[in-house]
Amino acid sequence: MTRWLRPPRRVALLSVHTSPLEQPGTGDAGGMNVYIAQTATRMAERGIEVEVFTRATSSELPPVAELAPGVLVRHVHAGPYEPLDRSELPAQLCAFTAGVLQTEANNEPGFYDLVHSHYWLSGQVGWLARDRWGVPLVHTAHTLARVKNAALAEGDTPEPRTREIGEQQVVDQADSLVANTEMEANDLICQYDADPAKVSTVSPGVDLRQFTPGSQRDARAALGLPRDATIFAFVGRIQPLKAPDVLLHAAAELLAQCRVDRSKLVVLIVGGPSGTGLEQPRALQDLAVRLGIEDLVRFMPPLPGPALAKVYRAADAIAVPSHNESFGLVAIEAQACGTPVVATDVGGLRVAVNDGVSGLLVPGHSSVDWAHALARSAESREKLSVGARNHARAFSWDHTTDELIGAYMQAAVTFRKERSEVAS
């Protein structure tokens, strides 16, 4: 039984399919990795020990690694020592759960006070751990299959029924559900029949020490980019859902409309392949060739935070053309660097971008609309930049962490209450 009404002493974070030690921006590593690394580090700073469980994808990985003081990453042996497609992971959940339970069994009873699962695969593991350990289960979905399937990009593969069923089970079982936005909270309640009393909304944050405004000129010089060009950038995993192709089409449209001089336009694509459809590393390069803009497009591999901050600063605007986003960390990071964001008017991007103030929201993906919005954002960069910085300041990982700890404490109360009702 849970023994506390104070913050927990030690939390087990479950992240089956991707590790917070991986470089985000390619494959399965993205915003969730950043979320876990940032909040776990801050929880440890607040005196909560955190252990993150993730699948060992290589025999070279140590069983335990330190992410930050007070934060351990445990590599659980579940299936072959190689990356597996997400669709293959449900078959490894039994082995993964066994590894998690074994770790706890090797310690004193009541080692973990709470389990927090990220993404539905981890939720399945958390469900069992919660029952075995007698501690609350907090779950963050990050994305939801039903929402994703309703906004599929052309050529994208629908999320399988297995996931929808598994997700529903986790929603039904969790003692607390943490949503990134009010909209996601609403999706959980309306599309998954979640108990509203168990759902809390906690905004993701941004590292305001790393993503700071700075000189555009210096950033361009550091990246070897022309000082006087109009530069638009896409940052993130290259997959149909993120739709980086929309930026290429919009760039071609800008040239067709003669709104930018060909010698003065640069498009940056930062990130690596992920998922289906556009996963072929060359798919976007091929598109650039077909559009006749290959000489204007520069591809950069996934970059760590400090280099990414330079990309944000160097750009006139960052394009986030996703078909859906539960939030969109890239949008907030760019704005924290003082760069306006042009994003699709969907999902969490409506929270991440203050339309007309910190950037522009575009309904749909028409090249003409995107070209127009990009040109407008570049023209009004100075004004939007002020709005962008102000908007980003409202988000911080410290705030996210404090809210999460509040959700943990609330989950413990609910858990205790429900268990005592069952017992009486």
Which is closer to ligand UDP, CB of 28 or CB of 316?
28
Q: Which residue has the tokens 């429900």?
A: 418
Least Å from the CB of residue 194 to ligand UDP: 21
Residue 324 marked ligand-binding: no
Q: Which tokens in the block code for residue 291?
A: 């559009």
Is position 25 an interface residue for ligand UDP (rule: CB under 6 A)? yes
Select the residue interacting with ligand UDP from 70, 126, 205, 236 (CB under 6 A).
236
Is position 27 an interface residue for ligand UDP (rule: CB under 6 A)? no
Residue 42 marked ligand-binding: no
Residue 28 marked ligand-binding: yes
Angle, alpha carbons 239-400-362 (nearest 5°):
40
Residue 407 marked ligand-binding: no
The amino acid present at 115, given as its one-letter code, is V
Select the residue interacting with ligand UDP from 235, 243, 260, 360 (CB under 6 A).
235
Q: Binding string, 334-363, against ligand UDP, x = CB under 6 A?
A: ------------------------------
Which is closer to ligand UDP, CB of 327 or CB of 370?
327
What is the H or E stretch that residue 331 is in? helix 329-336
Q: Which tokens in the block code for residue 330?
A: 């890239």
Which is closer to ligand UDP, CB of 192 or CB of 327?
327
Least Å from the CB of residue 301 to ligand UDP: 7
Q: Which tokens in the block code for residue 13?
A: 């974070």
Which is closer to ligand UDP, CB of 25 or CB of 359?
25
Which is closer to ligand UDP, CB of 34 or CB of 50?
34
Residue 315 marked ligand-binding: yes
Is position 238 an interface residue for ligand UDP (rule: CB under 6 A)? no
Select the residue interacting with ligand UDP from 133, 327, 397, 408 (CB under 6 A).
327
Least Å from the CB of residue 332 to ligand UDP: 8
**Rounded to an integer, what is the distance from CA 285 to the centroid of its chain?**
25
**Closest by Cα among 208, 195, 126 to 388:** 208
Q: Within positions 158 to 177, which residues make up the interface with ligand UDP, using CB under 6 A?
A: none
Residue 313 marked ligand-binding: yes
Q: Strands of 321-404 (E only): list them.
A: 341-344, 359-362
Is position 31 an interface residue for ligand UDP (rule: CB under 6 A)? yes
Q: Which tokens in the block code for residue 400?
A: 């996210």
Q: Within positions 44 to 103, which residues make up the interface with ligand UDP, using CB under 6 A?
A: none
Q: Strands of 77-180 (E only): list them.
A: 114-118, 137-140, 176-179
d(CA 251, CA 268): 11
**Closest by Cα among 313, 156, 309 to 243:** 156
d(CA 291, CA 249): 7
Give the single-character DSSP code of 109: T
Select the residue interacting with ligand UDP from 7, 8, 24, 213 (CB under 6 A).
24
**Closest by Cα among 295, 289, 292 to 256:** 292
Q: Which residues contact 217 (CB under 8 A, 6 or more apart)?
A: 227
Q: Within positions 279 to 308, which residues make up the interface with ligand UDP, using CB under 6 A?
A: 302-303, 308
Using the rule CB under 6 A, give the single segment among 22-30, 193-201, 243-251, 252-260 that binds ligand UDP. 22-30
Using the rule CB under 6 A, give the single segment among 61-69, 102-110, 234-242, 398-406 that binds ligand UDP. 234-242
Q: Which residues contact 323 (CB under 8 A, 6 or more apart)?
A: 151, 152, 153, 156, 240, 241, 242, 243, 344, 346, 365
Output the known binding site.
17, 23-24, 28-33, 86, 119, 143, 163, 237, 242, 312-313, 315, 325, 333, 339
Output the known binding site for Mg(2+).
312-313, 315, 339
